[in-house]
Amino acid sequence: PDIFDFIKVKRNLKSVRYANISIRITDEFMHAVENDTDFTLWYENEVNGRIEKKVRARELWKELVDSARNWAEPGLIFWDNVTRGSPSEYNGMNVITTNPCSEQPLQKYGACDLGHINLPMFLMDGFTEKAAIDWVTLEKAIRYAVRFLDNVLTYNDDKHPLNTQAEAARNTRRIGLGFTGLADMLVKLRIKYDSDKAVEFVDTLMDRMKFIAYEESTLIAKEKGSFPLFDSK
């Protein structure tokens, strides 16, 4: 219910520094924006009970968009999409939040083990009609990155501040392989960033990268054994 104040908190450059702020968005809210209807904001705990505030969904959406454009805050995470796409919604690994900068959805006490691939480095003949992804090199980098992050989990096993964190990391062996430089890659491929072609290209690119990472993870499990909470069913 105090989201309008939260959205504006970093406009005072002395109030909150060295931290990102993000908003968790649901399908229900986006449908309300699409249909231009009211939306009920709420917060509930044992001390205060339930607090509600009804707002016009598009009014809140406009504030979010304007703030992102003018102040580069807040970030948005579409949580229903996250849970639908999560491969770990079982055995207590259900994602409930993210790490502080929202790169990786996590379960309770989950480990944030992140690495990224710089996409423009894997292009051939950039800015020309022959521009294309060097898939042989990119696939190799993805496979190395998955193994590297898995090794980081092992290295960090005895270095967590809390035993619950160590246990969560050990039981799930969750990694986050991301990317940077997507806009630069699109420019070098001569694809307009906000075009339908760009959306289609990114969908294909991410699917292929994802399945290479999944395959390498499977090979690691074959070599070293699967993570403790894994269930193939």
pLDDT tens, residue by residue, 147-161: 999 999 999 999 999
SS3 102: coil
Residue 170 has what pLDDT? 96
Residue 200 has what pLDDT? 98
pLDDT range class, residue 116, cuts 50, 70, 90: very high
What dihedral angle (degrees, nearest 10) is formed by the CA atoms of 22, 19, 186, 196?
10
Question: Could you read off the pLDDT of 21-57 as tens digits, one per residue?
Answer: 899 999 999 999 999 999 999 999 999 999 999 999 9
Give buried/exposed letters for 156-187 (b at 16+ CB in 10 A, else e): eeeebeeeebbebbbbbbbbbbebebbeebbb
Determine how β-strand 123-124 pairs with β-strand 132-133: antiparallel
Q: Catalytic residue at 94?
A: no
DSSP annotation of 37: -
Residue 103 has what pLDDT? 86
C-alpha angle 115-120-122 in degrees, rounded to nearest 5: 85
- Averaged over 215-233, what is the pLDDT? 95
Residue among 99, 112, 156, 215 flagged as catalytic: 99
Q: Catalytic residue at 200?
A: no
Residue among 89, 91, 94, 101 flagged as catalytic: 101
Q: Are 113 and 175 in contact (CB under 8 A)?
A: yes
d(CA 18, CA 13): 10
Residue among 28, 89, 103, 200 flagged as catalytic: 103
Q: Catalytic residue at 101?
A: yes
Residue 138 has what pLDDT? 98
Question: Could you read off the pLDDT of 69-114 as tens digits, one per residue?
Answer: 999 999 999 999 999 999 999 999 999 999 888 889 999 999 989 9
Q: Which tokens go with 220?
A: 């690691």
Q: Which tokens go with 203?
A: 């969908």
